[in-house]
């Protein structure tokens, strides 16, 4: 069918009803369908482009986790670029092409990157394997931020190793061996975080965040989440005046000394609340993305913990 013209039509009324995000989703799905009908995508042995098997990961931190398990057997590339918000990320046609052509897609959990979920649905039965790293972990559909607890990431690693072994049975022992090595590093990270946090009395372990992102981290290391500027796990929407007043009161009554935001966040509301409460604003955590000062998941966690502990001393 290569070379045939593709014609997919929709009425003007249908297009209008889709809205902006729906229209973007529809256009990306057409790219995926077009690739399949033109015979593009993976070759018969499941390799891409230059011959290297490619795995697409939803985020930069997930790409690092997967690469630690995959070694040199796969080239792992993130879909959501550094600094972008996974919840509001809008993929391009090139992103759709990458998903359609890759060997596998590794996601945290359905819902973290909604547009990626749409692309995966559009790929359908094209042969692309989807590995949900948080599969089987309690609470993931309600709050996907499990990766901020390194012990949860150990479960991610086991799931990823199993998924890669099913893709490449000949390399199964290597994936499992690298997974065990990385699990050891994650346990060491967990111990390091616990030691760093131990300098804080329990009554000082207070977190005020941009959105509901640190619940698993807090539960693991004995913090109390006082509140969030945007009281949702996605950070989308606008808090009501009553919610802001309630947060101001909670900060004052708890004695929380700082508000913690991830890099790239709009700081306007945080600065407003800080003026009313006299607290500091820490606006450079890495929550859902790696960055210049944290190029691996482990570095990301170490940096976040240092910033949090220093602000709460």
The model's pLDDT over 61-100, given as tens digits with 9 standing for 90+, comes to 999 999 999 999 999 999 999 988 888 888 899 999 899 8
12-190 with 200-312: one CATH topology?
Answer: yes
Whether 307 contacts 98, CB under 8 Å: no
Q: Which helix (H) or strand (E) holds 308?
A: helix 297-312
Which segments in the chain show pLDDT lower than 50? Answer: 1-21, 23-24, 26-27, 32-33, 35-41, 43-49
Does domain 12-190 correspond to CATH entry 3.40.50.1980? yes
For 134, residues 6+ apart whose C-beta sits below 8 A from its C-beta are 108, 109, 140, 144, 146, 152, 155, 156, 159
Reported as a single tens digit per residue, the pLDDT across 262-302 is: 999 999 999 999 999 999 999 999 999 999 999 999 999 99
**Closest C-alpha to 260, from 302, 230, 290:** 230
Distance between CA atoms of residues 137 and 109, nearest Å: 10
Whether 298 contacts 189, CB under 8 Å: yes
**Widest pairwise Cα distance in the chain:** 68
Q: Structural domain boundaries of the chain? A: 12-190, 200-312
pLDDT at 50: 54
pLDDT at 125: 63
Which listed CATH number (3.90.420.10, 2.60.40.1190, 3.40.50.1980, 3.30.429.10) goes with 200-312? 3.40.50.1980
pLDDT at 114: 87
């Amino acid at each position: 069918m290569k070379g045939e013209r593709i014609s997919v039509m929709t009425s003007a009324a249908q297009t209008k009803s889709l809205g902006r995000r729906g229209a973007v989703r529809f256009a990306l799905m057409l790219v995926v369908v077009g690739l399949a009908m033109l015979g593009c995508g993976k070759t018969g042995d499941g390799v891409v482009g230059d011959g290297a098997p490619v795995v697409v990961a939803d985020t930069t931190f997930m790409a690092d986790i997967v690469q630690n398990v995959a070694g040199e057997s796969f080239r792992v590339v993130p879909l959501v670029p550094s600094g972008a918000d996974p919840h509001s990320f809008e993929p391009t046609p090139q992103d759709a092409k990458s998903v359609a052509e890759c060997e596998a897609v590794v996601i945290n959990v359905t819902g973290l990157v909604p547009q990626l979920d749409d692309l995966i649905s559009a790929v359908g039965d094209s042969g692309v394997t989807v590995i949900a790293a948080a599969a089987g972990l309690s609470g993931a559909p309600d709050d996907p931020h499990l990766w901020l607890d390194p012990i949860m990431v150990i479960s991610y690693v086991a799931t990823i190793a199993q998924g890669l072994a099913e893709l490449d049975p000949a390399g199964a022992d290597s994936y499992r061996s690298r997974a065990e090595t990385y699990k050891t590093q994650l346990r060491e990270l967990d111990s390091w975080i616990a030691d760093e946090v131990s300098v804080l009395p329990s009554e000082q372990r207070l977190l005020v965040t941009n959105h509901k992102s640190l619940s698993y981290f807090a539960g693991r290391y004995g913090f109390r989440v006082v509140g969030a500027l945007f009281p949702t796990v996605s950070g989308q929407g606008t808090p009501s005046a009553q919610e802001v007043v309630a947060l101001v009161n909670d900060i004052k009554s708890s004695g929380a000394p700082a508000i913690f935001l991830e890099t790239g966040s709009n700081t306007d509301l945080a600065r407003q609340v800080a003026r009313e409460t006299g607290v500091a604003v820490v606006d450079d955590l890495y929550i859902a993305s790696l960055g210049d000062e944290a190029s691996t998941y482990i570095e990301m966690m170490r940096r976040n913990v240092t910033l949090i502990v220093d602000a709460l001393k």
